[in-house]
Amino acid sequence: MDRRDFLKAVPAAALGVAAPAIRSAQAQAPTRNETLLLVQEYGPNSLDMQGLGSSQPVNGVALNCYDRLVSFKRQRVDDVTTSFDINALEPELAESWQEASDGMSVTFKLRADARFHSGRSVTARDVKWSLDRAVSIGGFATTQMNAGSLEKPDQFVAVDDKTFRIDFLRRDKLTMPNLAVTIPFVFDSELAIRNSGGDVWAKEYLKNNIAGGGAYKVEAWRPGTETIYVRNDDWKSGPLPRLRRIIARDIPSPSTRRALLERGDADISYGLPPKDFSDLAAAGRIRVSAVPVPNAIWYVALNSANPPFNNVKLRQAVAWAMPYEQIMQASLFGRGVPMFGGPSTPARLTWPVPFPYASNIARARALMAESGVGPFTTSLLFDAGSGTIAEPMAVLVKEALAPLGITVELNKIPGANFRGELNKKTAPMAIYRFGGWLDWPDYFFFWNYHGNNSIFNIPSYQNPAMDRLIDAARFTQDPAVYAQNVRGFLELGMHDVPFIPIAQPFHDVAMQRSIGGYQFWPCREPDFRYLTKG
């Protein structure tokens, strides 16, 4: 199953939320049906998703407390879940936009009535300061902006108070969709600069304070304990949310979070182990939404830059030895789409797509012999923070490779240190889950297979032929040329197999049956703007 088959479109009008009755009750305290209790493993370590070192949940802060120029168009999946169409954009802070006839710029008209939480009107100068910051601050924010050819402050022009232009460096199909992810959000620049303490990007202030105009404000932030959001009743960039208060409580124990859901004491939870989601879905009392995460896979990476895994025959041998079905059942509990056992050529020109490898120890032994590599000992890194999935996966990999004469030592790394260890590019083997926000195969391959050796190229794979195919696909305007190059790099990836795909994961969310309006976005964090209760 592929995400494109999984989604069913519905008219945009069916996705709106009526607001008049809500607005008339603004002065009243939130009722039980206007208050949501979310229980999660951990919350934001910062309030600034553009800041260095921001954790995954900070995306949720950016999503709910700040506006972007545009958003992806929403698509209905089923009666519970709405996802998105990456090929269609709709207004958020910008009420309209127009691309230039030469295709080298786009001009946005901002909503006349949009205001920040401070009460100040949003201007094009705020948008420019915010995007200047995103391409200049470094780290993940700048990396993500660069993925859509948004690289230099002089690309961003405040034409007048309500008109903003982006000049393109090149024709890049990722530029406009990249404006809809959580990174290019808009700050109240005057508030940020006033409290910057002389720092040009007000990093310390924005790490600890919201300077936005989004649908929610942060009422209280207690790192490691809870984050409390309250609705911004003056929000104009969409239908006013039904929920007026959100309590997001940090509870590290998954068994406690599950118990709170089953007792009815919590409304919704993310990040439970796959077994819990499987059990809850089977029992039927708690509703479970499952969306295949776009552009994402669980995989085993083999360090192709260093011996012994710089030997392609050895990598192929390991791929044929993987215990795929056992991993799907014992590690993922079926919560994903298998990415193994596919045809020898790509079944479709999308990503992820099943690789041709399946468990076949005879083929694995034959390729091991062809490789000329004798028995050896190696190590396999995995993230303790994803231990409920990664640890049983690692144990199964260790057992499966023993018949090849490969002794695997397991190296469990604390979650806070895991990315740093990967970035050293020295681990012989690693278990990882990558998910790309922009759902094109060339986007995934650029970050994970390209010779620029980005932080996501875990095996440090280098192949000039691969680079040429990826680059040609990224920037061509010809559909036939695009298809030819995508097929080329998919086939090369299958042959060289620096990554061994296991599964496209589900993004699972458990919620009470009284909860409606669940919205899935690429950042995989809860969007409170559309949720309803009761």
Average pLDDT, the chain: 93
Length of the chain: 534
- Number of neighbouring beta carbons within 10 Å of residue 16: 12
494-509 average pLDDT score = 97
Residue 14 has pLDDT above 60, yes or no: no
Q: Which two tokens stand for residue 519?
A: 């919205």
Q: On the CB side of 46, how many CA atoms lie within 13 Å of its CA? A: 17
Bridge partner residues of 291 (DSSP): 507
CA 528 to CA 509: how far, in whole Å? 14
What does the alpha-carbon distance between residue 291 and residue 509 come to, in Å, rounded to a whole number? 9
Mean pLDDT over 38-64 rounds to 94
Check: CB of residue 160 under 8 Å from CB of residue 124: yes
CA angle at 241 for the pair 58 and 203, rounded to the nearest 5°? 25
Per-residue pLDDT tens over the stretch 352-391: 999 999 999 999 999 999 999 999 999 999 998 788 999 9
Q: Which helix (H) or strand (E) holds 461?
A: none
What are the pLDDT digits (tens) for 333-357?
999 999 999 999 998 999 999 999 9
Q: Could you tell me the two tokens for 322?
A: 């993987």
Q: For 460, phi and psi rounded to 5 degrees?
A: 50, 45
CB–CB of 100/159 below 8 Å?
Answer: no
Pairing state of beta strands 226-231 and 336-338?
Answer: unpaired
Bridge partners, residue 229, by sequence: 218, 246
Most confidently modeled range among 23-27, 260-264, 412-416: 260-264
Residue reference for tokens 């278990």? 431
Of 454, 79, 85, 225, give the one whose Cα is nearest residue 444. 454
- DSSP assignment of 211-225: ---SSEEEEEEETTT
Asked whether 340 and 358 are in contact (CB, 8 A), the reply is: yes
pLDDT for 245? 98
Residue 4 or 224, more confident: 224
DSSP sequence for 486-524: HHHHHHHHHHH-SEEEEEEEEEEEEE-TTEE-EE--TT-
pLDDT of residue 52 exceeding 60: yes
Quote the CA–CA distance of 58 and 65 in Å, as a whole number: 10
CATH topology assigned to domain 35-251+512-533:
D-Maltodextrin-Binding Protein; domain 2 (3.40.190)
CATH second-level architecture of 296-506? Roll (3.10)
State which amino acid sits at residue 532.
T
Min mean pLDDT across 237-246, 392-401, 470-479 is at 470-479
CB neighbours of 97 closer than 8 A, spacing ≥ 6? 69, 70, 106, 107, 108, 109
Q: What is the pLDDT of residue 27?
A: 56
Q: pLDDT confidence of 504, banded at 50, 70, 90?
A: very high
Q: For 167-221, what is each residue's pLDDT tens digit?
A: 999 999 999 999 999 999 999 999 999 999 999 999 999 999 999 999 999 999 9
- Tens of pLDDT, residue by residue over 281-311, are 999 999 999 999 999 999 999 999 999 999 9
Decide if 35-251+512-533 and 296-506 have a common fold.
Answer: no
Q: How far is 420 from 429, CA to CA, in rounded Å?
A: 15
Contact 382, 393 (CB under 8 A): yes
pTM of the model: 0.88
Contact yes or no for 339/491 (Cβ under 8 A) = no
Helix (H, G, I), strand (E, B) or coil at 342: coil
| Alpha carbon of residue 67 to chain centroid | 18
- Answer yes or no: is pLDDT of 278 > 70: yes
Q: Which of 336, 312, 297, 295 is nearest to 494 (CA)?
A: 312
Q: pLDDT, tens digit, for every residue of 240-254?
A: 999 999 999 999 999
Q: How far is CA 211 from CA 75, 194, 227, 307, 470, in A?
A: 30, 11, 16, 50, 39
State residue 423's pLDDT score. Answer: 85
Q: Residues near 44 by Cβ (< 8 Å), separated by ≥ 6? A: 54, 55, 57, 58, 60, 61, 221, 223, 227
> How far is residue 488's CA from residue 481's CA, in Å, rounded to a whole number?
11
Beta strands at 376-383 and 406-413: parallel, antiparallel or unpaired: parallel
* Domain limits, the chain: 35-251+512-533, 296-506
- Give the pLDDT band (50/70/90) at residue 19: very low
Residues 485, 491, 494, 498, Cα dihedral to 10°: -40
